Amino acid sequence: MQKILFFYVCPVLLCLCLCLCLCLCLCGKMQAQVILSDSLRSHPSAILNMDMRPIDNNHHRGVLLPRIPLRNSTDRSAIPSPDDFLLVFSPYKDSMESGLNYWYANHWHRVLSETELYTHISEQNITQTVLSARLMEMEKTLHVTDSRNSNPYKLPLNNVVFDSQNAYNQTKYEYVIPETGTYEIVCDVACFIDRDPKDKRDVSVETFIQVNNKMMINDLISGASTIMTGSVIHITELHKNDIVYGAVGVGNWKESKFRVTSASLTIVKY
């Protein structure tokens, strides 16, 4: 009997709740919030709040937006008088691709994903930054280079600020070129040199741009300071799947010790 009563009463209560919410929405003069929640809590800044418990620990529910077949960016056949910022989902690929669309300035604007935006920019031949990565914090471990600086130290750029194609490997600290084209690569580095204060000989710091494990270009700066900086910029043609990374080497004609205090790598596609 309780199961039968629950079966009939719950839909009625749900309908009453929906009717109440509809009334609140239609009453423009009422300063009220619409809350569809089993906690009956909402933030004061929200007009509509939907926060329902999941069906179980693994299954949640979302919101289905109105699905309107839009034929083109000015289509008003389904909605004759759309208001600015009206949001709909177009499910069909006719003249427009499916996706979220909002109405503004007399036509529909589709919400683009990051990949779609990158593709669109590439087709327009617009200069764009594809990678910006840097060192999260200064290193605490000293590194050793040989006297000829023949084995540059790969910069551990573990903070990815921007990566439009998800092409940067945060384990190997390498960027894999996503498509053939002309690229500008900028590498900056600052190093702390662990040296005997009595040693007044100049120390050389080389900043490298490496492509496919070979030096593409380097910048050499010498001085007697304990903090040395280097910067290198290079514009070149790169091919798909080429591997690019920044590196640094320190030397004063004998074994040298250093640690990186700051570093960054920026790649721009033309």
Which CATH code for domain 128-269?
A: 2.60.120.40
Question: Residue 28 — pLDDT band, cuts 50, 70, 90?
Answer: very low
pLDDT band at 215 (very low <50, low <70, confident <90, very high): confident
- Res 98 pLDDT > 60: yes
Q: How confident is the model at residue 2 (pLDDT cuts 50, 70, 90)?
A: very low
Position 141 confidence tier, pLDDT thresholds 50, 70, 90: confident
Give residue limits of the domains in the chain: 128-269
> Once rounded to an integer, what is the mean pLDDT over residues 125-146?
82
Q: For 218-242, write each residue's pLDDT tens digit.
A: 777 777 788 888 899 999 999 999 9
Following DSSP, what letter does each residue of the chain receive, concatenated? -HHHHHHHHHHHHHHHHHHHHHHHHH-TT----EEEESS----TT-SEEEE---SSSS--------B----STT--SS-SSPPTT-EEEE---SSS-SEEEEEETTEEEEPPPHHHHHHHHHHTT--EEEEEEE-SS---S-EEE-TT--SPEEP---EEEEETTS-EETTTTEEE--SSEEEEEEEEEEEEEE--TT--S-EEEEEEEEETTEEEEEEEEEES-SEEEEEEEEEEEE-TT-EEEEEEEEESSS-EEEEEEEEEEEEEE-
**pLDDT attached to residue 148:** 54
Q: What percent of the chain has pLDDT over 70?
A: 74
pLDDT tens digits, residue range 155-175? 999 999 989 888 999 999 999
